[in-house]
């Protein structure tokens, strides 16, 4: 079955694409002005197109049995002075899509919008979405089209960016990790209904295929049904981030390299790490001039503590454990080895943010913990990014200094760069 997802490179659209592509019989086409930044299944293809131009949509939509119209521009205050842009994309663009679906006899159409509350905030975004919804419902009623209209609550989950549109949950997670003040407007007692983006994707597909769009009078609000205050969300995030200090960096690889330097690893030293991992841990060790020593893994694919102890020599200066695919290494045993031999631990927690071991979070065990904000990681950013976290104040001070070419402040240079040892 040929399926088109407009805005398929975006936050919600990409998850709908991902879910649709699980059925290998589906040929899923992403129609977007932005190329996807994740690798989809082979049955997913990208079409460079803009819903503002109907001829472009017409070409892409021919032969489609389903269309998921997720394209649009987001923002509240961001769109206050961009009314024309919102009209062109959110209203005219939605009109173009529904008209093309009618012209080419698309069997099923999905159109998302926003809930309308008694005292909702009238802004450029909400007005444009309500207007588009009214046009879509008109087409549905006049032409008896099978169009499912869902109004969903606050979406959250993987691949939700902080910028250019500011989103509450990604913002407070970032602020908490970077040890910044949590930004809350008003009293913080205002409540939100949060729904996981993966649930949204499943609901969008299942409701569209169940034909609820044939019920011409129905528009459905979708949410968790559980209201939570902004203060509660902030408190939850703070509990999940145990480290006192954090330093933002260009990437998770930079965090690993800097961490090695901070714990005193020099050229010719040895660092024990698992062989089963992404290349970053090994490359960071080599980059600093040290030698990676591979300790084999257990059945859970994480490093084996017994193999760590067997690999220790007089040259061993650090243990770099990698929590792979969300599973935390047997950190209790690794901590005992670290204490016994006085060897610092660097945690690569890029794939394990949010995971727990004995009720403690990944990244809260080692001397230094490293995280990635690559688009394919849990804490995804635009392009790339990373940070290291530690409870040791002096390490944090030195990390901030070295991450800024050795500058202690604007006028004082304490350590030029971060140079490899001779």
pLDDT tens per residue across span 15-52: 999 999 999 999 999 999 999 988 899 999 999 999 99
336 phi/psi in degrees, rounded to 5 = -65, -40
With the C-alpha atoms ordered 134, 139, 140, 141, is the resulting torsion angle positive or negative? Answer: positive
Q: Residue 420: what pLDDT?
A: 46
Q: Which ranges of 278-346 does DSSP label H, i.e. alpha helix?
A: 280-287, 305-311, 331-341
Alpha carbon distance 74, 83 (integer Å): 12
Q: Characterize the bridge pairing of strands 407-409 and 412-413.
A: antiparallel
More confident residue, 73 or 406: 73
- Predicted TM-score (pTM) of this structure: 0.60
Strands 386-390 and 245-249: antiparallel
- State pLDDT tens for residues 105-152: 999 999 998 877 666 567 888 889 889 999 999 999 999 999 999 988
Q: Does 242-413 match 2-156+192-225 at the fold level?
A: no
Chain-wide mean pLDDT for the chain? Answer: 84
> Using CB atoms within 10 A of its CB, is residue 418 exposed (0-12), middle (13-18) or buried (19+)?
middle
CB-based contact 31:6 (threshold 8 Å): yes
- What is the token pair recorded at 297? 């893994």
pLDDT of residue 409: 57
pLDDT value of residue 160 = 81
**pLDDT interval class at 304 (50, 70, 90):** very high
3-state secondary structure of 14: helix
Task: Check pLDDT > 60 for residue 418.
Answer: no
Domains of the chain, residue spans: 2-156+192-225, 242-413
Class of domain 2-156+192-225: alpha beta
How far apart are alpha carbons 178 and 278 in whole angstroms? Answer: 25
CA separation for the pair 161, 85 (Å, rounded): 21
Q: Which CATH architecture has domain 242-413?
A: 3-Layer(aba) Sandwich (3.40)
Give pLDDT, residue 159: 83
Q: What is the pLDDT of residue 316?
A: 96
Separation of alpha carbons 129 and 126, rounded Å: 5
- Alpha-helix residue ranges (DSSP H) falling in 62-123: 83-86, 94-103
Of 279, 248, 281, 250, the C-alpha closest to 347 is: 281
Residue 91 is classified by DSSP as I
Contacts 24+ apart (CB under 8 A), 25-33: 25/1, 26/1, 27/1, 27/2, 27/3, 28/3, 29/2, 29/3, 29/4, 29/5, 29/60, 29/64, 30/5, 31/4, 31/5, 31/6, 31/7, 31/57, 31/60, 31/71, 32/6, 32/7, 32/8, 32/71
Average pLDDT over residues 84-105: 94
H/E segment holding residue 224? none
């Amino acid at each position: 079955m040929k399926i088109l997802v407009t805005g398929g490179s975006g936050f919600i659209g990409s998850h709908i694409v991902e879910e649709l592509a699980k059925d290998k019989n589906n040929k899923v086409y992403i129609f977007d002005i932005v190329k996807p930044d994740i690798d989809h299944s082979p049955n997913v293809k990208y079409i460079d197109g803009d819903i503002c131009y109907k001829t472009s949509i017409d070409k892409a939509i021919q032969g489609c049995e389903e269309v998921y119209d997720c394209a649009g521009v987001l923002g509240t205050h961001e769109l206050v002075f961009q009314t024309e842009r919102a009209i062109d994309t959110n209203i005219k663009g939605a009109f173009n899509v529904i008209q093309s679906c009618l012209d080419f006899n698309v069997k099923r159409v999905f159109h998302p919008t926003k809930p309308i509350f008694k005292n909702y905030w009238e802004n450029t975004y909400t007005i444009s979405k309500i207007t588009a919804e009214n046009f879509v419902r008109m087409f549905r009623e006049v032409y008896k089209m099978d169009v499912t209209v869902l109004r969903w609550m606050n979406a959250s989950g993987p691949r939700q960016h902080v910028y250019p549109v500011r989103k509450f949950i990604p913002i407070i997670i970032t602020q908490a990790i970077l040890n910044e003040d949590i930004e809350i407007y008003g009293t913080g007692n205002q409540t939100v209904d949060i729904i996981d983006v993966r649930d949204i994707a499943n609901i969008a597909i299942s409701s569209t295929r169940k034909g609820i769009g044939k019920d011409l009078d129905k528009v459905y609000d979708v949410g968790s049904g559980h209201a939570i205050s902004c203060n509660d969300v902030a408190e939850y995030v703070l509990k999940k981030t145990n480290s006192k200090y954090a330093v933002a960096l260009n990437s998770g690889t930079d965090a690993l390299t800097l961490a090695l330097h901070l714990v005193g690893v020099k050229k010719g030293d040895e660092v024990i790490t698992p062989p089963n991992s992404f290349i970053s841990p090994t490359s960071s060790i080599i980059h600093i001039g040290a030698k990676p020593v591979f300790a084999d893994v257990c059945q859970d694919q994480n490093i084996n503590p017994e193999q760590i102890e067997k690999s220790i020599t007089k040259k061993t200066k650090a243990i770099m454990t990698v929590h792979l695919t969300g599973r935390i290494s047997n950190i209790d045993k690794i901590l005992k080895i670290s204490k016994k031999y006085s060897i610092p631990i660097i945690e690569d927690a890029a794939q394990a943010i949010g995971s727990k071991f004995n009720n403690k979070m990944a990244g809260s065990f080692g001397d230094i913990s490293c995280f990635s904000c690559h688009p394919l990681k849990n804490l995804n950013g635009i392009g790339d990014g990373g940070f290291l976290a530690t409870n040791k104040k002096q390490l944090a001070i030195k990390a901030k200094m070295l991450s800024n070419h050795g500058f202690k402040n604007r006028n004082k240079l304490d350590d030029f760069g971060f140079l490899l040892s001779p």
